[in-house]
Amino acid sequence: MDTRTTTTRAAGIIVLLIFIHSIVLAFTNPLGEAPDEPAHMEYVRFVVVNQRLPIQCTAPCVSEVDGEGHQPPLAYLLAALVSAPFIEQTAWVPQAINPQFLWRGGSDPQALVHGSREYWPWRGTILAWRLMRLVSVLLVSATAWLVYRLALRISTPATALVAVLLLALTPQTAIIGSTMSNDALLGFLSAAILVLVVDTRRIRDLLGVGALLGLALLTKQSAILLLPALVVAAFRMQRWSHRVLAMVLGSAVTVLVAGWWYLRNQMLYGDVFGLQLFSQTFAGTRIDWQQSDSWSNAVVQLLRSAWGLYGWMTIPLPGIWYGIGTTVVLAGIIGFGLRLARLPRLGMWWIWSALLIGATMGWLVVFASTVGVVAWQSRLLMVALPLLVIVLAAGFTSGFGLIPSARQAVVIAAVAWGCQLSLWYGVVLPRVPMAMPDPATTAQPLALARDAVFAAPGSAGGIALLDLDAPAVIAPGDTVDLTLRWQVYDRPMHDWQVFLVVRDVYKREYARFLQPLLPGVPTSTWTPDDRLLTRHRIVIPADLGENFYMIQIGLVDTNSPLRAQKRNNALELTGDSIFLPFNVGNPTLP
């Protein structure tokens, strides 16, 4: 078997590992626990439900898709194709933001509160969201394969193998591949454009480049950095007349494919890119570029994000992992420098690679000037990713002469794969727990059924007290443990707490208790279809005399203060509490 065939098989195995890694993350990462993913999903849902593209605006007007409505539509239309049959047409209640989230001034790296509807088996919009992620899985896997094919065309089989190996080594590859966003599609189209440019021989090839460029421009505005690909492809032809004609025709195809979107922006917003409204709404803290710390922090953040900053860039891995990643990147850069020192004359592709990587870095700096330090994410380099990993790979193979065999490359990728999954299950997932229990564990009714739905006055929906458990016999001095089973019909606007009051038959009060329903998870973050058990402990006063007593149970918002009204399932108001009776001694009614 020749070397190229062996290398290609090894590359295929590594791409398969990337695919499996992405699948694992796509199915196990709680929905929305990746930067901007909820807004990307909402874009898809808006398109499916409304059968049109969203329009953005500034306050007091509310954009139809907050945060991502400025994005070109292709990635969302593609995701809609696979998810539309499952997206519910009814109103969608998004996950609530974790009140203790780091970006909101808290200490918790978890961004969202995850409810019962997110457990398997997935249904409706939750299932659709998971399917959207599968599109990214396929796109990132295909991108890895195209990077290998591109490297074969512009370099050596060894460099091609190391390039795809580098993609497997960086956790960011699987993170992008497991998230609903437009990054995966942009990386795929970038790689496809570059492969087609290398293969350009005739004018019709350049028409394909123009079409792919149009699709890239319909994916993300940063694809504008790929426009010189038309020139590079045209200059692969021999005659000047063919070059000029090819560039004209290729440009025309690009305009035909993508021009309508930018014309729409100009007509709606007076801004061809539609970014001015985004900049006004999401302007972050300005970066002082004259401070050296600003640049060093940017480099550190980019490297850390490439080598595994999970969640919303809030869940780091152990420092040794970033040390390994930084060493790999620096070695690739130094190796490429050594290659230049030995072979100072660069071919066209290496010049093009340097220009595209430099332009992408420059675009990222401009973007950071608008939104602040949150821009330092390696996923925003996707437009240059194919050439970036090939340059680093060439540093190892041509600079240092490190040429792994096919077997060695597969072993390295498999070890890295195992390490990344170990970190995923051991470090990352424990930091993003579900807030609500699995519905299967709360399906069994409790002993004492109740027909009680609590809601604020005038509010629909509410949360239903389905049933409860209490001791059969309650005596003075007892510690009483109560279990209440709730079903959420609609997200409460109030942060309810449960009050428990011990009263006698004359409603005289003997003890009062105020407790949270679910500690750390306010009711205003609960989601429709949540079903949960809450547990409460109270102490019955020891000096109760012989009489009829009751434990009064209701909900109150201590910030208002406001008590929730109680109604039955027939929507009839029935007070604001339920009562659990017990006797002391053998009392008789007066």
Q: Kindly list the domain boundaries of the chain, sorted by start residue.
A: 3-89+119-431, 439-584
CB 481 within 8 A of CB 471: yes
Average pLDDT, the chain: 91
Residue 551 has phi, psi (to 5 degrees) of -105, 115
As a whole number, mean pLDDT of residues 294-301 equals: 83
pLDDT for res 280: 63
Both structure tokens of 97:
């933001």
Distances, alpha carbon 499 to alpha carbons 334, 462, 512, 553, 563, in Å: 66, 17, 7, 6, 10
Q: What SS3 class is residue 272?
A: coil
pLDDT for res 36: 93
pLDDT for res 91: 83
**HSE of 211, CA atoms in CB hemisphere, 13 A:** 7
As a whole number, mean pLDDT of residues 411-423 equals: 97
> pLDDT: is 334 or 584 the higher one?
334
Residues 86-111 pLDDT 10s: 999 888 899 999 999 998 889 999 99
Q: Indicate the angle between helix axes 406-423 and 157-169, nearest 10 degrees.
A: 10
pLDDT for res 158: 95
- List all residues 6 or more positions away from 138 whose beta carbon is below 8 Å from its beta carbon: none
Count each helix (H run) and each strand (E run) in the chain, helices first. 16, 10
d(CA 23, CA 13): 15
Rg (CA), the chain: 30
Both structure tokens of 115:
């409810």
Q: Is the pLDDT of residue 351 over 70?
A: yes
Q: Please tell me the class of the 439-584 domain.
A: mainly beta
pLDDT for res 2: 65
As a whole number, mean pLDDT of residues 519-548 equals: 93
pLDDT for res 150: 96
pLDDT for res 345: 63
d(CA 163, CA 153): 13
Q: Which pTM does this prediction carry?
A: 0.93
As a whole number, mean pLDDT of residues 467-496 equals: 93
d(CA 577, CA 344): 83
| Residue 233 banded pLDDT, cuts 50, 70, 90 | confident
* Least confidently predicted of 242-251, 410-419, 573-582: 242-251
CB 106 within 8 A of CB 27: no
